[in-house]
Amino acid sequence: MLSADHLLTGSNLSHDIEVPASLLGPVDTQERLVRLRPLSVQDLRLIGRAARENDDLTATLMVQRAMVEPVMTVQQVAQLPAGLMHYLLHQVNRISGIGVTEAELAEAMNDPLTQASFELARAFGWTPEQISELTVGQVMLHLQMLRQGKSGALDMVTQLGQPGTR
């Protein structure tokens, strides 16, 4: 069985990442390495609170918190070229274990609940939050009515009220 120390060891690791020359422009050095560390749950919480609804600030803070060497301020990271920022963010997500591969994305898109949510959102204009309030039975009923082409499905939903408005 793994101990807590074993599980926490990964947070102390750092990774030397080679930055593609095409993202650096003309530089006088052959050294193209940066050192990144994986983000912890504590880092992600702090970033989430600090950035709130600003995706650009979230990405900037993620790269800044993960950057071990060279040490950079938030302002410096915010001034990075967009392509370099995207590359570094991808690397931070990868080493932190929070990146999504194409295969994982395809698997999520094929999930029956994902497809059902998409159908209900498209048919009734519901938000993900509204759909999440439905029971599995309600989801199945609405999908069955849509698939059978019941013209009264939309009328019934309107009469019952949208999820979250009851």
Q: What is the pLDDT of residue 13?
A: 81
Q: What is the pLDDT of residue 105?
A: 67
Map out the domains of the chain with their CATH numbers: 4-99 (3.30.2220.30), 105-160 (no CATH)
Q: What is the pLDDT of residue 69?
A: 92
Q: What is the pLDDT of residue 96?
A: 82
Q: Which two tokens stand for residue 13?
A: 């690791």
Give rounded-to-5 percent helix, strand, coil for the chain.
Answer: 60, 5, 30
Q: What is the pLDDT of residue 122?
A: 83
Torsion angles phi and psi, residue 17, rounded to 5? -115, 130
Give the Cα separation of 88 and 63 in Å (integer).
7
pTM greater than 0.75: no
Instruction: Return averaged pLDDT per consecutive 10 residues of the chain, 166 residues in all.
Output: 72 84 75 87 82 77 90 91 89 81 72 82 81 82 78 52 55
Which positions ≥6 away from 34 have C-beta within 8 Å? 16, 17, 19, 67, 69, 70, 88
Helix (H, G, I), strand (E, B) or coil at 40: coil
Give the Cα separation of 166 and 157 in Å (integer).
11
